[in-house]
Amino acid sequence: MTTAIGVVMTSHIVTGRLEDQRLTGKLLRYPSDPEAANELDAIPGSELVEILAEHIGALVGAAAGGAGKADAIGVAVPGIVRSGVIEESPNLKQLKGMRLAEELANALAGRGIGAPVHIANDADAIAAGVAATRGKLDKLTRVWTIGKGIGYGRWPYADGVWEGGHITVTLDPKERFCGCGGAGHLEGIMGHRAMRLRFLDLEPEEVFANAKQGDARCREFVDLWHRALAAATASFIHLAGPGRFYFTGSNVGFLDLERLRGHLETMVRMSPLQSFSLEILPPDDETALIGAGVSAVRALADH
């Protein structure tokens, strides 16, 4: 039996124990109060590492005299992640430049835990979790995460940056709402933060509600929101081929699949590329936790 610890750190931290790709036992959450989520960006990186180490230690069982064990530890975080280093993280800026795998491994070593640490992009972890729970770890799986930012995840892992949320979907120089500062990005249209900056008088939920009631300004934006996602998805279809795309995240409830499909069909016209399919997944932490653990175990096997 292979045992792994999966951790997801986005607007909050969730930690779980996996045995042969299945979550077992209780999940640990920080902050414990759901109303206090989105506060991680105010916590220094060193303190976040200690929180992670404390949770992992509790699940490994080190605090109980080493009763438990872990073969691998997988941590999913937003941003550009390569070789255990967070090269960029627009939504958790204090992580930029952190050698997170090394720092967390050192913190765990002080607790008597020597399992290897693997760091993955959070959207990639969701893609891995989707593939694992559907028994399709040998198939290409692509996921869009729609929330504070926009993430693009794929499984199997392939070397590269894969920051799909920052793909350029418009040449309008006024489109500068992306958290990274770039113009014309998908996240600058679809991201929760970007929508709040665009509509200073309305929350994103109100924008979509007003659009349904016929407000012209909101209806125009909702169509732009869907066209932007269609453009980014069409780009990946043209690069890597058709297949199934999954959509999840805290704002996935805004997504109208039929509207998205309609825009995609105007953008993808080559017949060999038209066999794509679209599926919404309810947002949950468990899929990403499974993916973080699976990614860590696979990375361990590859080495």
The tens place of each residue's pLDDT in the chain, 303 residues long, gives: 789 999 999 989 999 999 988 999 899 999 987 766 667 888 999 999 999 999 999 999 844 444 468 999 999 999 999 999 999 998 889 999 999 999 999 999 999 999 999 999 999 999 999 999 999 999 999 999 999 899 999 999 888 889 999 999 999 999 999 988 999 999 999 999 999 999 999 999 999 999 999 999 999 999 999 999 999 999 999 999 999 999 999 999 999 999 999 999 999 999 999 999 999 999 999 999 999 999 999 998 776
**Are the C-beta atoms of 145 and 126 separated by less than 8 Å?**
yes
CB 242 within 8 A of CB 235: no
Task: Quote the pLDDT of residue 176.
Answer: 96
Contacts of 201 (CB under 8 A, 6+ apart): none
52 burial type by CB count under 10 A (0-12 exposed, 13-18 middle, 19+ buried):
buried
Nearest to 117 by CA among 57, 168, 172: 57
CA distance 129 to 125: 6
pLDDT value at residue 38: 67
For residue 68, report the phi and psi dihedrals to the nearest 5 degrees.
-105, 180
Question: Of 107, 112, 116, 134, which Cα lies nearest the Cα of 66?
Answer: 112
217 by DSSP, 3-state: which?
Answer: helix
Residues ≥6 apart with Cβ < 8 Å to 271: none
**Domains of the chain, first to last:** 3-122 (3.30.420.40), 127-280 (3.30.420.40)
| Nearest CA-CA partner of 212 in 259, 245, 162, 168 | 259
Whole-number pLDDT of residue 300: 85
For the sheet containing 13-19, what is the strand order? Answer: 22-30, 13-19, 3-9, 72-77, 117-121
The beta strand positions in 54-105, using DSSP E, are: 72-77, 80-82, 85-88
Burial 277-295 (b: 16+ CB within 10 A, else e): ebebbebebebbbbbbbbb
Cα–Cα–Cα angle for 194, 196, 202, rounded to 5 degrees: 150
Residues 6+ apart with CB under 8 A from 98: 45, 85, 86
Give the pTM: 0.91
Chain-centroid distance of CA 151 in Å reads: 5
Angstrom distance (rounded) from CA 288 to CA 76: 8
